[in-house]
Amino acid sequence: MENEQDERDWSYRGGRPLLGSDEKRDSVLQVRLTKQEHNDLKKQTAEQGYKDVSIYVRRKLFSADDAPAFNPKPLFRAIDKTGTELKRIGNNINQIARYAHYLEKNNMVEGKVIAEYNQHFEEFLKVEDAYVKAIRAFLRVTR
């Protein structure tokens, strides 16, 4: 019986799920532009990182307070890459810290080396903090 129910629920049509009536974009807006205006619009679209002019125009029209229609994908890729590098640097610093503390316990290192390590670690923390603050400030502005 369960197999019969499963067979009835299963659709032979594949593909993307249907959009709801509130999600469909079925209204068309026609705008006449000169060739120069059209080229300028294409250029602006490409400069902002969009491939599709309609997405760019839609964002530009419906953005609040004349905010720029910014495409965040390249930024998020860069943030992701930078964040990964910061994590790697942090891991390296932690490995150095463990080894430095091991050497310090066994009196195999001078205090000068530990002080220099602490200075570099504080510098790293400042850079990381500035990075996080900049990302948060940007995200606050673009919302």
pLDDT per position as a tens digit, 1-47: 555 555 556 666 677 888 888 888 888 889 999 999 999 999 988 88
Cβ atoms of 56 and 50 closer than 8 Å: yes
The pLDDT of residue 77? 78
Indicate whether 77 and 134 sit together in one domain: yes
46: in domain: yes
Cβ atoms of 72 and 142 closer than 8 Å: yes
Query: What is the count of structural domains for the chain?
Result: 2
Indicate whether 136 and 105 sit together in one domain: yes
Torsion of CA 83, 89, 92, 97, to 10 degrees: -110
Indicate whether 85 and 107 sit together in one domain: yes
Indicate whether 87 and 134 sit together in one domain: yes
Share of the chain above pLDDT 70, in %: 83
**If you average pLDDT over every residue of the chain, what do you get?**
80
Lookup result for tokens 């890729």: 77
pTM here? 0.45
More confident call, 30 vs 66: 30
- What's the domain range around 135? 73-142
Question: What does the DSSP assignment read for 14-49?
Answer: -SSPPPPTTT-----------HHHHHHHHHHHHHTT
Mean pLDDT over 34-61 rounds to 88
The pLDDT of residue 111? 80
pLDDT per position as a tens digit, 79-94: 888 888 888 888 888 8
Indicate whether 88 and 108 sit together in one domain: yes
